[in-house]
Amino acid sequence: MRILFNNLIYSATLSADTVNANYPLTNLQNDSIKKIYKATQNSAVITITLSAASTVNSFYFGFTNATAAVLTLYNASDTLLRTVTLDATRGGATFATTYTVSYAKLTLAASEVVYLGGIGIGNNYKMPDPTNDIVLKPIDNTTRNYSDDGQLYINRVNILHQMDVTYSLEGVDTYNAIMAKWEALTHPAWVEPYEENTGIINPMFCDITMDDSPTQSWQYYTWAHNYREVR
C-alpha cells in the first residue's frame, strides 16, 4: 500500500495548450475532484511546473473521460527523465523513482472534449503491509422515504467507498513517522492499495481518519486508519 501524503500539485504552477475558461486549470488544485478542468478539444497537454526540483515516483488522476494518458518528466535543463504510459481506467500508478524532476507534462486524449478532475504527483510513501483483508466497503448516502402505502421517494447518489485498514506490531520509528505524515495532512491524500496490481483496487482520493486508539506492547504498535473516498 502506498500513500501520497505530500501532493506536489498544490504548490505547482499549471498551464495547458487548451483551456475552457469556465473550467480553469486551478480546479485541478481543488480538494473536490468533481470540480473539473476542461479543454476545448479532444486532447490536451497539461504542464505541471513544480515549486522545486523533486523526487517523483507516482502520478494519480481522477474523474476524467480520457481514454489515453501519457506522463513525461523533465529536469530543469529540459532533459526527458522518464515517460510513463498510464492506464486511464486505473487512475494512475507507482513507477521507478525519478530524481530532480522540475516539471511534468500530462498528455490526455478522449473521444470528445476532454476533462479531468484531481491530480496527485510526488513521492508516495510505502506503508507497512496491512494485517487485515482490504475490502472496499460501500457507503450509501442515498435518502429514502416510504409512504404508508409503500411508495418510494428517493434522492439517489452514487455509492462511495471506504477501506478500514489495520497495521500491527510495527516499531516505534515506523509508527512515529506515519503519524507525523498523517497529522501534517491539510488535504485529502491519494491512496494506492495495490501498487503492484492496481486493477484489484484502483487508487482513491481519500480522507484519512483514525477512529480507534492505537495500542502498544513492548514498543510494538497496532493501529487502524480509515480511508474514505472523497469526490
Q: Which CATH superfamily is domain 2-126 in?
A: Galactose-binding domain-like (2.60.120.260)
Exposure letters 83-108 (e unless 16+ CB within 10 A, then b): ebebebebbbbbbeebeebbbbbbbb
Give per-residue pLDDT as tens, 20-65: 999 999 999 999 999 999 999 999 999 999 999 999 999 999 999 9
Give per-residue pLDDT as tens, 60-104: 999 999 999 999 999 999 999 999 999 999 999 999 999 999 999
pLDDT > 90: what percent of the chain? Answer: 95
Is residue 184 over pLDDT 70?
A: yes
Is residue 198 over pLDDT 70?
A: no
Domain boundaries, the chain: 2-126, 137-229
Secondary structure letter of residue 128 according to DSSP: P
d(C-alpha 36, C-alpha 59), whole Å: 17
| Predicted structure pTM score | 0.94
User: Can you list the alpha helix ranges (DSSP code H) found in 38-185?
Assistant: 172-183
Give per-residue pLDDT as tens, 113-140: 999 999 999 999 999 999 999 999 999 9
The neighbour count for residue 224, using CB atoms within 10 Å, is: 18
Quote the cell numbers at residue 127. Answer: 506503508
By the 8 A CB rule, do 134 and 103 touch? no
Cβ neighbors of 124 (< 8 A, separation 6 or more) are: 2, 3, 4, 5, 57, 58, 94, 190, 192, 195
What does the pLDDT average to over 105-113? 98
